[in-house]
Structure 1
Amino acid sequence: MTRKRRNKQQEKVSRGEPPNDLGQHLMYDKKLLHEIVRQARVGPTDMVLELGAGKGALTTILSEQAHKVLAVEYDRKFVEVLSRKMATVGNTTIIQGDIRRVRLPKRKFVVVSNIPYAITTPIMKLLLSNPQSGFERGVIVMEKGAAKRFTSPFVKDPYVVAWRMWFTIRFVRAISREKFSPRPKVDSALVYIDRKQKPLVAYAYHNAVFGLVEYALRQPYAPIDVALSGVFTKPQLKQLKRALRMGADDRIGTLSEAQWGVVFATMVQYVKRPLWPRRRKERFK
């Protein structure tokens, strides 16, 4: 980044505006906007959280169908537009602030959002890394590459495995970059998230789940024997592989969410709690 561009970015941030590389691209296609709300099954009893509301194209539709809408937007200019547009709408609250630091509602809520590309992972962590929150389901438009990563059968990111213990994450369809303004360099995708009725691991164990998967996926392409050798003894690993129907050479990143549930249950049953891998303290990004 040149000095001139850096100074402009700093000036915008000082005014409370997001930097240009935040990756926020607005949607105006009404057919697509209605499809997103329909996919989320928004009803008259739902509280909806919209992250990155922009100028309110999606907010307007949500306010017509939901019981209450919390529209979060960082850009001061967009907030002014939103405030004027929704001034007479009693069920919609406009919140100006950093999406990554928003306080999630205490009651059950639904998320319907077209999120900024640059902070996709932090937003997903906000919503999914604490299964004891009120988040029930959501439809999120995000960069296609991120959507593929979150739904891929081969998993390299520990937090994705952890999320899948409590939530189903499904790739719905791709969305052309032509549907946005300004037009992004890549395509987007529609992702549906739903809380599992029967979680694979109890919510109370969520820190222990993160500790296990962070340890095991340090080398996602490593054989299961190597990845889990510091957690289980050789006899325990032999029994575990039999339960998973996996060989010694099968890579740890290929485990399905159900298989991870088996790995965790095996650890709880056979490994003393002081020996469980501990969750890393993650710095805010």
Structure 2
Amino acid sequence: MFNKDNNIRLKHSQNFLQNKNLVSELIKESNICKDDIVVEIGGGKGIITEQLIKKCREAYVIEYDYHLYKKLKDKFNNERNISIFYEDFLKFQLPKEYKYKVFSSIPYNITAAIISKLTSSCNPPEDIYIIIQEEAARKYAGNPYNRESMRSLLLKPYFDFEIIRNLKRTDFSPIPSVDSVFLHIKKRKYPLISHDKKKLYYDFISYIFNNSGQNMKNKCKHIFSYKQIKRLSNDIGFKMTDSPTCLSFEQWLKVFQYFVIGVSHEKKRLIYNSYSKLLEEQKKIDKIHRSRK
């Protein structure tokens, strides 16, 4: 059913690329080819869609603005390699049985939800190419673009990040008040943490980042003894007074590996369900935020 409020919110949260040549360049900078199935989140006025269907085998375009959806249907009515859905992407069922890629200029106000949906899927995309707010991209990509964040550390065992290029504000209509980049998120062929350890790793990172204290010594004091954290800092090369964001991803992998083999089951239980609790807290915050709008 057409929802006027949803369309108003989307209209004010999405900035559309307006240069066909730029879109063509961006697609050339991706690895999308004739054999690929590509999902586009928010087809908008079809400027990306028009270029995508020339390069890929099939495009799935999801558009939540009813008026834009109707225009897309009319514009691409005679194209055979495109399916257009009037649907909320956050409720859209991603492909489960075959490989696919994503190429999109996404609404910035739901960036976290979109990336979470894509990366937590049982069958995540092989490649995600998204135009995203620069500040958010740096948080997700971490080093070498920024210090590692909880978000970057949660995803890096399973995905690689690269900021391919910076975009101009004038590349968009309406002109946004923030800087944007073209970000590539690539699924690792071989995960750096096995599937059976994934939940423990997520709980581990979430527990430390959300625990009280400003530095590694204080944040880890309930799961590592003083001797253990001191030894880790010496062996891995960080200071006990460093904040969690000072450590590299590679250092975090080593800290986690030690946690798996060097910590008692009793102490491991302290971190259990830390990630799910974090998600629940985030849902409450998002609900409050939505109700205030």
Bin the TM-score by the shorter chain: 0.7 to 0.9
2:269 aligns with 274
1:1-285 alignment, distance < 5 Å: 12-13=4-5, 17-19=7-9, 22-106=12-96, 107-130=98-121, 132-153=122-143, 155=147, 157-218=149-210, 222-271=214-263, 272=265, 273-278=268-273, 279-281=275-277, 282-283=279-280, 284=283, 285=286
Give the SS at the match of 2:175.
coil
User: Following the alignment from structure 2 to structure 1, what is the Cα–Cα distance between the partners of residues 16 and 126?
Assistant: 25
**1:221·1:252 contact (CA, 8 Å) conserved in 2?**
no
When residues 105 and 266 of structure 1 are mapped into structure 2, their CA distance, relative to the original with a 3 A threshold, is same
Structure 1 residue matching 2:38: 3-state secondary structure: strand
Specify whether residues 18 and 203 from structure 1 end up closer, same or farther in structure 2 by C-alpha distance, changes over 3 A only: farther
Matched residue count:
273
The residue type paired with residue 269 of structure 1 is I
- The Cα of 1:155 is off from its aligned counterpart by 4.7
Instruction: Please tell me whether the aligned partners of residues 40 and 102 of structure 2 are also in contact (alpha carbons under 8 angstroms).
Output: yes
SS at match of 2:276: coil
TM-score (norm 2): 0.85
Q: Within 1, Cα distance between the matches of 2:224 and 2:99?
A: 38
What letter is aligned with 2:107? P
Query: Any idea what the Cα deviations from partners look like across 1:236-284, whole Å, max 9, x if unmatched?
Result: 3233223311122222111211112112211111222534442224245
Q: In structure 2, what is the Cα distance between the partners aligned to 1:183 and 1:219?
A: 39
Greater percentage in helix: 2
User: In the alignment, residue 173 of structure 1 is paired with which amino acid?
Assistant: R
Structure 1 stretches of 4+ with a deviation exceeding 6 A read: none
- SS across alignment from 1:280: helix
Counterpart-to-counterpart distance in 2, 1:277 and 1:230: 13
Shift of 1:118: 0.8
Q: Relative to 1, partners in 2 of residues 1:110 and 1:20: Cα closer, same or farther, differing over 3 Å?
A: closer
Look up the equivalent residue of 2:102 and give its one-letter code. Answer: V
Instruction: State how far apart, in whole Å, the 2-side matches of 1:117 and 1:22 are.
Output: 10
Question: How much is the aligned-residue C-alpha RMSD, in angstroms?
Answer: 2.3
Q: How far did residue 187 of structure 1 move?
A: 2.2
Contact persistence 2:207–2:271 (CA under 8 A): no
Secondary structure at the counterpart of residue 138 of structure 1 = strand
Cα distance in 2 for residues equivalent to 1:63 and 1:159: 32
Residue deviations 1:73-97, cap 9 Å, x none?
A: 1100110111112212222111111
Q: Which runs of 5+ in 2 are unaligned?
A: 287-293
Instruction: Provide the TM-score with structure 1 as the length reference.
Output: 0.87
2:111, 2:212 → 1: CA distance? 22
